Amino acid sequence: MTRLTENQSKNTTSLPDGPQSPGFLQIIQKIFYYLEYLDAARERYGDIFTMRSPGFPPTVILSDPQAIQEVFTADLSLFDTGTKILQPLLGEYSLIQLDGLPHQRRRKLLMPPFHGERMRTYAELICDITEQVMSQWTLGKPFCVRSSMQEITLRVILRAVFGIDQGERFEQLRQLLGSWLDSFNSPLRSSFLLVKFLQKDLGAWSPWGRFLRQKQQIDALLIAEIRERQTQPNSSREDILSLMISARDEEGQPMAEEELRDDLMTLLFAGHETTASALAWAFYWIHHLPEVREKLMSELDTLSPDLDPSAIAKLPYLNAVCSETLRIYPVALFSFSRTVKSPLELMGYQLEPGTVLAPCIYLTHQNASIYPEPKRFKPERFLERQFSPYEYLPFGGGNRRCLGSALALFEMKLVLATVLSRANLVLADKRPVRSVRRGFTFTPSDGVRMVMTGSR
């Protein structure tokens, strides 16, 4: 018996308690009211509870920082960490599908473009694209912030990945990706990704059939770009795809074509969809709470007119606003799950093989003992103390922490600073904004409607 902890070992049970409502009802709650479902379950059962769904193994939901720490720091051989639920989106060869040593090797190959000196090369790109998208806004005319942010983040990641932002293939890819991701832009449409028996290809006009055909078109464009790069190598190129093609593992082997394709899809999806939603939330909170906007504008006014990216990245209150945005309504509710491979004990519970452990980002961030008044947007909490990676985990943790976390946070800061320093915005209406499902992620309801009232 492998032990992760000795805690509570005298009073062990096989699984923690959890919601007992019928499976079909739980599915509906998870699709349409997931945050309320999680809040109610934690209120009744505590920081560790079991969720059961038809067709899935028991899933132990964790929001206790000690339990999360033990899972994130445990021997990797105790768990299977690959996930198949994202396969329809990302492909079977994506980094996210891998486990164990293959995952470690691929992750090592993909790390360089997202760290260190490479980050600075993206700064001018982010600011330029932001200003280009802002130029499309009309004074006094409401627009959807999330749509604008998605255009910015999509163009940024496409440019960073491919090194181009023009041409027929690029334009096709941009339009297809946007249309494809919008195919699950509501809780109802998201059900096709979440409920297996709905994934039936009934032809090009059926929801799943249309989804699959768009995915095939995107795959074909990615393969064409990969093959063109492979046949026309250029050592001077520094885009992510070129770096991926030239990368070699410890045995000197390059990535296969299918691996390149699926990892490109992973980068394109994770590299813009999540950041766009986080930015929409940030604009909402900044303009919903006048005191937050006032403090942030005072800080931004200390910058030089050229908006030096390195200076922006160091602004403490801007960093706190971004951190609090990612805390209160994280775009992903869970870190990647771990499946138990052999009997083990966690926090006094005896877990059998096949049990799934799911660290819950949302519930951890809503823990009132860590974050007093958790439903209140309060950036100051990130100026007052440091949180451990088991208390604050917007990008997941352990060996599954998001590769692009540094780029995402950097991009958030630059986009916010650029927009707020150039334009005056107000919310288009006072209706409360909810966090709603968009595929596997969560986004502000109605995308946050705003109006530009002037320039600064």
Output the 3-class SS for 278-300.
HHHHHHHHHHHCHHHHHHHHHHH
Q: Classify residue 14: in a domain, yes or no.
A: yes
User: What is the predicted pLDDT for the residue at 311?
Assistant: 94
Q: Classify residue 345: in a domain, yes or no.
A: yes
Q: What domain range is 381 assigned to?
A: 2-425+439-444
Q: Classify residue 286: in a domain, yes or no.
A: yes
User: What is the predicted pLDDT for the residue at 4?
Assistant: 62
User: What is the predicted pLDDT for the residue at 6?
Assistant: 39
Q: Is the pLDDT of residue 451 over 80?
A: yes
The 3-state secondary structure of 39-103, one letter per residue: HHHHHHHCCEEEECCCCCCCEEEECCHHHHHHHHHCCHHHEECCCCCCHHHHCCCCHHHCCHHHH
328 or 114, which is more confident: 328
388 or 236, which is more confident: 388
Dihedral (CA of 127, 130, 134, 135) sign: positive
Q: Classify residue 181: in a domain, yes or no.
A: yes
How would you class 434 by CB atoms within 10 Å of its CB: exposed for 0-12, middle for 13-18, buried for 19 or more? middle
Q: Which region among 38-42, 83-87, 250-254, 364-368 has the lowest average model confidence (pLDDT)?
A: 83-87
CB 204 within 8 A of CB 130: no
Q: Classify residue 105: in a domain, yes or no.
A: yes
Beta-carbon contacts of 146 under 8 Å, excluding residues fewer than 6 positions away, are 276, 277, 279, 280, 443, 444, 447, 448
Q: Classify residue 380: in a domain, yes or no.
A: yes
Model confidence pLDDT, tens digit, residues 112-146: 777 767 777 889 899 999 999 999 999 999 999 99
Quote the number of domains for the chain.
1
Q: Classify residue 298: in a domain, yes or no.
A: yes
**49: CATH:** 1.10.630.10
pTM, rounded to two decimals: 0.90
User: What is the predicted pLDDT for the residue at 300?
Assistant: 96
CB 401 within 8 A of CB 109: no
Q: Classify residue 456: in a domain, yes or no.
A: no
User: What is the predicted pLDDT for the residue at 293?
Assistant: 97
Model confidence pLDDT, tens digit, residues 293-318: 999 999 999 998 888 999 999 999 99
User: What is the predicted pLDDT for the residue at 57?
Assistant: 84
